[in-house]
Structure 1
């Protein structure tokens, strides 16, 4: 599956019209659709608004299988805000309102993160495309610095330029070139770089992605298999609403350990991707099995039915303590004190030993004042 997005005609006059994207998308689609090269099922979007493109990307990564190969390509303007975050410019994009009129790189990253496919390729042929925050396998430039904190398995990002560089149309920054330099060489080489990355397009070249993932030990003892409804619920937990960090972490672990969509990655790979320990993976899988596959009970904080140690202070003990505090103090004392009550409680066999602070709390709770 391949989704090609080209944006070159903008409503905002502050964004200069490009000429290469139209030719780029058309030429790349022809190569990808060629059954002798790739045989992709290609969808192309040209000069669409950001909400239409966002919806298409969401549909593109939804309902994919673990062994599907997905390719998302964008050509057009890439814009950065004051904090250095990358936005992809669409037909309705306004440079002064990127958050609401452009497609952010973070949204694309989240969509890819929620996709179960183990072979995901993203190609950005745009200005500042090196700022895309998805550190899978950076190509086309050795100075891409913003890709380090997003590690993952089976995910590759190709960018035409570094975060501080521009990508060119032909031999100039803006102009009337037929194709951009980056995409032109992808097409001329018949996507040879993709061949090297996934190995699927030419059988003689082995893929760096394993054909079979390693099944972790806890998956054999405590297998995690989710229903479609469970997966939808867990995805909502990790992407919407306000929830505790531990709940979100457990939900992400369950999604990563789910065998209903295929074999899972290795224990080390999952732990690295989610930023947890191998012991956490084992405990979440164990809890899922012990709760009978109840995802809500697995991700929620475990509630104890009773305190770990029954309280020695029962209603009868409180009543006898209050009666003692209301009685006449021992000879030689004008009134009861907490320390004096503590000594006398220790002499009574059927009342557990209580210190003066516990006695004070009991009397305060019952509005009993020592006078």
Structure 2
């Protein structure tokens, strides 16, 4: 059954241009599978042109930000799905980032401006008029973070939740 109000940005970063030790090819396959299910009229029925898939070399910081900047063109009645599969890392100031194909690390920390920070992601998500936004992150992290109690990832999730509520 068609779902004309469905829009999706699907990101799979399985290869890292500057950090090949982080390569996880399965994340690319995950993203491709999610996009396939969304486009399948027997499953989700998203129009093919409303599902943007960025994987590996296509999933650069600039390309992801450009795709996120396109999100305001959704409408209030649309559903937006953002799926990201790859690594997550922190910068030296403790800010959580989603890594991109061209992310750089220094001393095990994200070099600011080479990944997508929580603030950059939140700013773009708040710009969309879509009332239904689903975020799915399959992101490895550089250290264990509990989902109960305070912690950097919990703050990231809370910041997204609070920020989206304030739109």
> TM-score of the superposition, structure 2-length normalised?
0.76
The structure with the greater share of residues assigned to helix is 1
For 1:150 and 1:6, how far apart are their aligned partners in 2?
20
| Conserved 8 A contact 2:19-2:105 | no
Matches within 5 A, 1:227-238: none
Find the partner of 2:131 among 118, 121, 124. Answer: 118
Structure with a larger share of its residues in strand: 2
Partner of 1:128: 141
Question: Which whole-Å CA distance do the structure 2 matches of 1:150 and 1:21 have between them?
Answer: 23
**Structure 1: where are the runs of 5+ without partners?**
130-140, 156-271, 275-371
Normalising by structure 1, we get a TM-score of 0.36
Residues 132-171 of structure 1 mapped to structure 2, 5 A cutoff: 142-143=147-148, 145-146=154-155, 147-151=157-161
Residue 74 of structure 1 is matched in structure 2 by 84
**Separation in 2 of the partners of 1:49 and 1:150?**
22
Q: CA deviation at 1:113?
A: 0.8
Distance 1:148 1:21, change over 3 A: closer
SS at match of 2:80: strand
Aligned equivalent of 2:105, options 53, 74, 95: 95
- Provide the aligned length of Structure 1 versus Structure 2: 146
Does the residue aligned with 2:154 lie in a helix, a strand or coil?
Answer: coil
Gapped regions of structure 2 (runs ≥ 5): 1-6
Alpha-carbon distance in 1 for matches of 2:61, 2:45: 28
CA 76–148 in structure 1, closer or farther in 2 if over 3 Å, else same: closer
Equivalent-residue separation in structure 1 for 2:79 and 2:21 (angstroms) = 33
Q: 1:103 to 1:152 in 2, by over 3 A?
A: closer
Give 3-state SS (helix, strand or coil) of 1:87's partner.
Answer: strand
Secondary structure of residue in 2 paired with 1:73:
strand
Distance 1:127 1:62, change over 3 A: same
**Residue in structure 2 matching 1:84, options 87, 94, 99:** 94
1:7 equivalenced with 2:20 (yes/no): no
> Distance between the aligned counterparts of 1:273 and 1:62, measured in 2?
16
Candidates 24, 38, 44, aligned match of 2:53 = 44
> CA offset at residue 273 of structure 1?
2.7
Q: Is the 8 A contact 1:86 1:128 kept in 2?
A: no
1:73–1:23 Cα change, 3 Å: same
Any idea what the Cα deviations from partners look like across 1:58-112, whole Å, max 9, x if unmatched? 11x1221101001111111111123321111112110125212111121111111
For the structure 1 residues 76 and 151, does the alpha-carbon distance in structure 2 shift closer, same or farther, using more than 3 Å as the test?
closer
